[in-house]
Amino acid sequence: MPSLARQSLRLNLMLWLGGPVALILVASLWLSYSRASRLATLIQTRNLTASARMIAEQIRYREGLIEANVPPAALEIFATDAHDEAAYAVFDPKGNLIAGFPGLDPAPIPPDAPPGPVTYDTMFRTEAMHAVTMRQPVITPDGTVQVTVSVGETGYARGALVRAFWMRGFAEQAALVLAAAISIWVGISRELRPLTRLGRAVRDRPPNSVEPFEVDTVQAELRPLVSALNDHMARLGAYLDRQRRFLDGAAHQMRTPLAILKTQIGVARRSDSPERVSAVLEKVDASLTAMTRTTNQLLTLGRVEHERALPALRRVDLRAVLRDVVEETAPRALDHGLDLVLDAEVPVFVRGNRVLLREIVANLVENAIRHAGRGAVATLSADVADGMGRILVADTGPGLAAPDRARLFQRFARGKGTRAEGTGLGLTIVAEVAEMFGGFVTLPDPDAPGFRIAVLLPLDPEA
């Protein structure tokens, strides 16, 4: 079963485009989240640092005590809609809490650390807090001492800020992806339209139509397909044409002898003389023999037509083929006063089909029997000429005039002066079979007496 993606070009393209886009979207969402988070932390740290500075600036030494007067503004910074909790704590140099909330531990600052705020995450009671710790020098009569100030805040407002930043990026990107998906879908649908139209055109055409399809109405990528389809149409057209002509010729060929047969039988029925009836029956018998021959020739031609599409070529020895045909036809040749001579010394291997090659040689011998006349000699030879396997059949009969020779290989074509029975298909079969095996037929030495015909076939490359 084909996979789902194989069934739909549209789906396939969507997957190819959508997959990478989805990956990029995920990466980009992650990036924008971390950016938003960094930005929110930065803002919160700034607020914490500002608040710690405000508290630190109000720390004084008075009457033997270090005092921290925390200004309200230092904590008002944290008043947000998110109901965050904020806490601060001030520690004397010994680490005792002198102002603020117990429970907010300062970040441990090494004595040699550079001055300035240090950020850290901590717990205040049950709340997680982001906090800042800084040192503030205070002048006392005994010298300068270091006081520690810590300010922390819960992260609700910070989280809300991250979400707000991030949601906005997400919405923008989602809109972008949606727009891309819609335009891809619409684009693909539009681009597939010529293909759909072509499909409809193929489906709706009448069964005998072999008109080519318009190539210019489809995209460049589809043109090879349409051209190939048109090539196929052209070949199909030629094939249908041949078949039609063949059928026309065959019907015509059968109609005449059938009409004659009917007349002959009519004559026999009306006649009361047994001698007359017997004479007519003899004619009927001859007519039937001729019709049988015609039917066989037509069937052979039909088979050649059929096999032409996909010929199964094998190695065949021409000498063996000639020998078989001579053996088969010798008695008939003798009956008709024709002397058959076989002149083939070496085997000649060609590529073809043994049955059809026998068929063409039999046709050539049959021609010699019918058209060369009594007392003639027909010589069959097989050899290699100009790198091809050659069958040559030469007889000492009357031969054929030039005008007749020109159209010899056309279907149903027969010599003008030919009196012998025949259909005019024999040499057509010979030519078509030769062509099917990659060879051809010639009439060599036209000026030589008698009738000479050669069939040339490609040699078997392995022989």
Ligand X SMILES: Nc1ncnc2c1ncn2[C@@H]1O[C@H](COP(=O)(O)OP(=O)(O)OP(=O)(O)O)[C@@H](O)[C@H]1O
Identify the residue whose tokens are 């010394």.
345
One residue of 106, 352, 415, 426 binding Mg ion per CB under 5 A: 426
Q: Are 426 and 297 in contact (CB under 8 A)?
A: yes
One residue of 415, 437, 457, 459 binding ligand X per CB under 6 A: 415
Question: Which of 44/367 has CB closer to Mg ion?
Answer: 367
Helix axes 274-308, 223-270, angle to 10 degrees: 170
Among the residue ranges 43-51, 63-71, 125-133, 412-420, the one whose residues contact ligand X (CB under 6 A): 412-420
CB atoms within 10 A of CB 50: 16
Instruction: Indicate whether 415 belongs to the interface with Mg ion (CB under 5 A).
Output: no
Question: Which of 367/396 has CB closer to Mg ion?
Answer: 367
Identify what 353 binds: ligand X, Mg ion, none; CB under 5 to 8 Å per kind.
none
Instruction: Indicate whether 361 belongs to the interface with ligand X (CB under 6 A).
Output: no
CB of residue 253 to ligand X, shortest distance in Å: 9
CB of residue 231 to ligand X, shortest distance in Å: 32
Helix axes 9-57, 156-204, angle to 10 degrees: 170
Instruction: Indicate whether 122 belongs to the interface with ligand X (CB under 6 A).
Output: no
Q: Which helix (H) or strand (E) covers residue 301, if one does? A: helix 274-308
- How far is residue 30's CA from residue 49's CA, in Å, rounded to a whole number? 28
Residue 12 backbone dihedrals phi, psi, to 5 degrees: -60, -50
Binding mask 442-461 for ligand X (x = CB under 6 A): ---------x----------
Task: Please report the beta strands in 41-111, taking only residues with DSSP state E, as ranges in sequence order.
Answer: 59-62, 65-68, 86-91, 97-100
Binding mask 255-294 for ligand X (x = CB under 6 A): --------------------------------------x-
Among the residue ranges 138-146, 262-270, 272-280, 411-419, the one whose residues contact ligand X (CB under 6 A): 411-419
- Report the candidate in 54, 46, 98, 49 with the shortest Cα–Cα distance to residue 74: 54
Instruction: Indicate whether 253 belongs to the interface with ligand X (CB under 6 A).
Output: no
Three-state SS string over 397-430 comes to: CCCCCHHHHHCCCCCCCCCCCCCCCCCCCHHHHH
- How far is residue 129's CA from residue 119's CA, in Å, rounded to a whole number? 11
Q: Are 145 and 137 in contact (CB under 8 A)?
A: yes
Instruction: Indicate whether 425 belongs to the interface with ligand X (CB under 6 A).
Output: yes
Instruction: Indicate whether 352 belongs to the interface with ligand X (CB under 6 A).
Output: no
Instruction: Indicate whether 249 belongs to the interface with ligand X (CB under 6 A).
Output: no
Instruction: Indicate whether 414 belongs to the interface with ligand X (CB under 6 A).
Output: yes
One residue of 100, 249, 422, 439 binding ligand X per CB under 6 A: 422
CB of residue 460 to ligand X, shortest distance in Å: 27
Please, which residues have CB within 8 angstroms of residue 89's CB and are 6 or more apart in sequence?
97, 99, 100, 101, 102, 104, 105, 106, 149, 150
Instruction: Indicate whether 411 belongs to the interface with ligand X (CB under 6 A).
Output: no
- How far is residue 415's CA from residue 430's CA, in Å, rounded to a whole number? 16
Contacts to Mg ion by CB under 5 A: 367, 426
Contacts to ligand X by CB under 6 A: 293, 297, 363, 367-368, 370-372, 395, 397, 399-400, 408, 414-415, 418, 422-428, 451
